Amino acid sequence: MAFAAIIVAVLSAAITIVAVYFARRAADAADTATNIELERRHAELRPHFKVTCQQLNPGSEQLRMTVQLMGPPDLEQLEELTVTIRDDNYFRLKRAPAPGSTDLPADHVWGPTRFVPGTGPGVGTRSGAQGADRAGRETRSVGMPVGESHVYAIEPNPPPAAAHWTTEGWRAEVGTTMRLRFDCQRNGWKPWATVGEIDVGGELTIVEM
């Protein structure tokens, strides 16, 4: 009888182990399916923008860039949007200048244009809306429903003070393409990042990103 009881106990333990194993397998499979669905939905909700860049006034070098959140409709809104002007090439390396050095400053935008420092959507009217940094590289805004637009002030980017370009030589170096990055925040979702380019050499340019 004792031997039989031991056999029964061993079989019961084995059955329990197998049951726990398959339960964990099922839970893992459910988690995987949930994650796949969340990733699919995240991709569906990726923000789409229409970007318009035009002269502020005829003959003016200052530009007005309008960024409209086109959708998708189910996204409803963004809680935060950070727009960054990227360098002309991702491998552009700039070290912070040392005393007596002619190295380019680390925060200088290597491109034809920059945000007017201190400006940006909602500055002075909305908590959390930060104007463009001193270099004119980045500006952060809040509260952007689908279908609405934010307006940014853009100006020609001067050559680095430590460099020896003339204004004409600098503009020939960086061309007329402004490269942008949009970092988008929506409560309950992982952030999205979108990149694109727009030509700033004409009177009016419209692109979708």
The tens digit of pLDDT for each residue in 89-124 reads: 777 755 545 555 555 556 788 999 999 999 999 888
Residue 145, SS3 per DSSP: strand
The pairs formed by 136-142 with CB atoms below 8 angstroms and a separation of 24 or more are 136/85, 136/109, 137/84, 137/85, 137/107, 137/109, 138/82, 138/83, 138/84, 138/85, 139/82, 139/83, 139/115, 140/80, 140/81, 140/82, 140/83, 141/80, 141/81, 141/82, 141/83, 142/79, 142/80, 142/81
Strand ordering across the sheet containing 177-185 = 138-145, 77-86, 177-185, 192-199
Measured in Å, how far apart are the chain's first and last C-alpha atoms? 77
What CA–CA distances, in Å, run from 80 to 23, 67, 75, 106, 110? Answer: 41, 13, 13, 26, 25
Residues 6+ apart with CB under 8 A from 171: 112, 156
Q: Give the pLDDT confidence score for residue 96 in this predicted structure.
A: 47
CA distance 9 to 12: 5
Of residues 82 and 33, which shows the higher confidence score?
A: 82
Structure tokens at 27: 């839970």
User: Are 104 and 160 spatial neighbours (Cβ–Cβ below 8 Å)?
Assistant: yes
For 65-77, the pLDDT digits (tens) are: 999 999 999 999 9
Asked whether residue 128 carries a pLDDT value surpassing 80, the answer given is no
State percent of the chain over pLDDT 90: 48
For the whole model, what pTM was predicted?
A: 0.78
**Distance (Å, rounded) from C-alpha 94 to C-alpha 74?**
41
Taking only the tens place, the pLDDT of each residue in 150-167 is 999 999 998 887 777 888
Are the CB atoms for 87 and 177 separated by under 8 Å?
A: no
Which one is predicted more confidently, 127 or 53? 53
Q: What is the pLDDT of residues 166-180, one digit of tens each?
A: 889 988 988 999 999
